[in-house]
Chain A
Amino acid sequence: MTLDAPLAPARDTEADQRPGTDAQTRLKIIDGDVHPALRSIADLKAFLPARWREHLEVYGSRRKLGMGYEPYPKSAPRACRRDAWPVNGGYPGSDLDLIRKQYLDAYGIEYGILGPLGVSGHSELNQEFSAALASAANDWQREHFTGPEPRLKSAIVVPTEHAEAAVAEIERRADDPAYAQVFMLTRTSEPLGNRRYWPIYAAAERHGLPVGMHVFGSGGHPYTGTGWPSYYVEEGAGHSTSCQTAVSSLVIEGVFECFPRLKVVMVEGGFAWLPALAWRLDKLFERMRSEVPHLKKTPSEYIRRHIWVTTQPMEEPENRQHLFDTMEWIGWDRLLFASDYPHWDFDDPFRAFPAGLPQERYRQILTGNGRAVYRLG
Chain B
Amino acid sequence: MSDTYKGAIDCDIHPRVPTPRAVAQYMDEHWRDTVEVRGIETWDSIAYPPNAPLTVRPDWRKVGADTDPAKTAQATLDRFGFARAICNSLFPVQFFRDENLAAAFARALNDWLAAEWLAKDKRLVGSAVLPIQSPERSVEEIERLAPDKRFVQVLMLAMGEHPLGKSMYWPIYAAAERHGFTVGIHAGSSYHHPLTGSGWPTYYLEDYAAQSLGFHTQLGSLICEGVFVKYPKLKVVLIESGITWLPPYLWRLSKFWRGVRNEVPWIDRSPEEYVRDHIRLTIQPFDAPPSAAHIGRIMDQLQSDDMLLFSTDFPHWQFEGADMLPPGISPELARKILVDNPLATYPRLGRPA
Q: Which listed residue, B193, B224, B297, touches A230 by the CB 8 Å rule?
A: B224
Q: Which of A285-314 contact B (CB under 8 A)?
A: 285, 287-288, 290-292, 313-314
User: In the bound complex, do residue A273 and residue B197 qualify as a contact, i.e. CB atoms below 8 Å apart?
Assistant: no
Interface size class of B (residues with CB under 8 A): 35 or more
Interface segment among A131-139, A146-154, A239-247: the answer is A239-247
User: In the bound complex, do residue B201 and residue A279 qualify as a contact, i.e. CB atoms below 8 Å apart?
Assistant: no
CA–CA, A238 and B214, complex, Å: 10
CA–CA, A275 and B289, complex, Å: 10
Q: Which listed residue, B166, B205, B259, B264, touches A345 by the CB 8 Å rule?
A: B259
Cβ–Cβ < 8 Å partners of B163 in chain A: 224, 226-230, 234
User: In the bound complex, do residue A191 and residue B196 qualify as a contact, i.e. CB atoms below 8 Å apart?
Assistant: yes
User: In the bound complex, do residue A187 and residue B54 qualify as a contact, i.e. CB atoms below 8 Å apart?
Assistant: no
Cβ–Cβ < 8 Å partners of A249 in chain B: 198, 201-202, 206
Known contacts A234-B217, A276-B244, A279-B289, A319 near B300 by CB under 8 Å: yes
Minimum C-beta distance from A356 to chain B (A)? 16
Q: Which of B286-336 contact A (CB under 8 A)?
A: 287-289, 297, 300-301, 303, 317
User: Total contacts A to B, CB within 8 angstroms?
Assistant: 244
Known contacts A75-B260, A229-B221, A241-B213, A272 near B197 by CB under 8 Å: no
- The answer to the question of B218 belonging to the interface, with a C-beta cut-off of 8 Å to chain A, is yes
Known contacts A227-B163, A272-B248, A237 near B256 by CB under 8 Å: yes
Q: Which listed residue, A253, A316, A325, touches B297 by the CB 8 Å rule?
A: A325
Interface size class of A (residues with CB under 8 A): 35 or more
Minimum C-beta distance from A269 to chain B (A)? 9
Cβ–Cβ < 8 Å partners of A283 in chain B: 285, 287
User: In the bound complex, do residue A226 and residue B205 qualify as a contact, i.e. CB atoms below 8 Å apart?
Assistant: no
Q: Which listed residue, B162, B208, B220, touches A227 by the CB 8 Å rule?
A: B162
Cβ–Cβ < 8 Å partners of A238 in chain B: 216-217, 220
Q: Which listed residue, B161, B272, B301, touches A226 by the CB 8 Å rule?
A: B161
CA–CA, A290 and B208, complex, Å: 15
Minimum C-beta distance from B89 to chain A (A)? 20
User: In the bound complex, do residue A231 and residue B197 qualify as a contact, i.e. CB atoms below 8 Å apart?
Assistant: no
- The answer to the question of A344 belonging to the interface, with a C-beta cut-off of 8 Å to chain B, is yes
User: In the bound complex, do residue B317 and residue A233 qualify as a contact, i.e. CB atoms below 8 Å apart?
Assistant: no
Known contacts A225-B194, A288-B52, A230 near B205 by CB under 8 Å: no
CA–CA, A237 and B285, complex, Å: 23
Contact with A along B168-208 (1 / 0, CB 8 A): 00000000000000000000010001111111111111101
- The answer to the question of A48 belonging to the interface, with a C-beta cut-off of 8 Å to chain B, is no
User: In the bound complex, do residue B224 and residue A191 qualify as a contact, i.e. CB atoms below 8 Å apart?
Assistant: no
- The answer to the question of B257 belonging to the interface, with a C-beta cut-off of 8 Å to chain A, is yes
Minimum C-beta distance from B21 to chain A (A)? 30
Cβ–Cβ < 8 Å partners of B249 in chain A: 237, 240, 273
User: In the bound complex, do residue B259 and residue A234 qualify as a contact, i.e. CB atoms below 8 Å apart?
Assistant: no
CA–CA, A318 and B252, complex, Å: 12
Cβ–Cβ < 8 Å partners of A230 in chain B: 163, 165-166, 221, 224-225
Q: Which listed residue, B164, B208, B262, touches A284 by the CB 8 Å rule?
A: B208
User: In the bound complex, do residue A273 and residue B245 qualify as a contact, i.e. CB atoms below 8 Å apart?
Assistant: yes
Q: Which residue of B lies closest to A276 (CB)?
A: B244
Q: Which residue of A lies closest to B220 (CB)?
A: A234
Cβ–Cβ < 8 Å partners of B196 in chain A: 191, 221, 224-225, 241-242, 245
Q: Which of A181-196 contact B (CB under 8 A)?
A: 186-194
Known contacts A224-B197, A234-B220, A280-B285, A326 near B189 by CB under 8 Å: no
CA–CA, A370 and B195, complex, Å: 33
- The answer to the question of A47 belonging to the interface, with a C-beta cut-off of 8 Å to chain B, is no
Q: Which of A321-368 contact B (CB under 8 A)?
A: 322-323, 325-326, 344-345
- Extra 4 A-B pairs, beta carbons < 8 Å, given A272-B248, A276-B242: A226-B161, A245-B198, A280-B242, A284-B209
* Residue positions of A touching B, CB distance < 8 A: 75, 186-194, 219, 221-234, 236-238, 240-242, 244-246, 248-249, 252-253, 270, 272-273, 275-277, 279-281, 283-285, 287-288, 290-292, 313-319, 322-323, 325-326, 344-345
Can you list 19 A-B pairs with a CB-CB distance of less than 8 A?
Answer: A188-B198, A194-B202, A224-B163, A225-B193, A226-B158, A229-B220, A232-B263, A233-B220, A233-B256, A234-B221, A237-B253, A241-B197, A245-B213, A246-B198, A248-B210, A283-B287, A292-B203, A313-B252, A319-B300
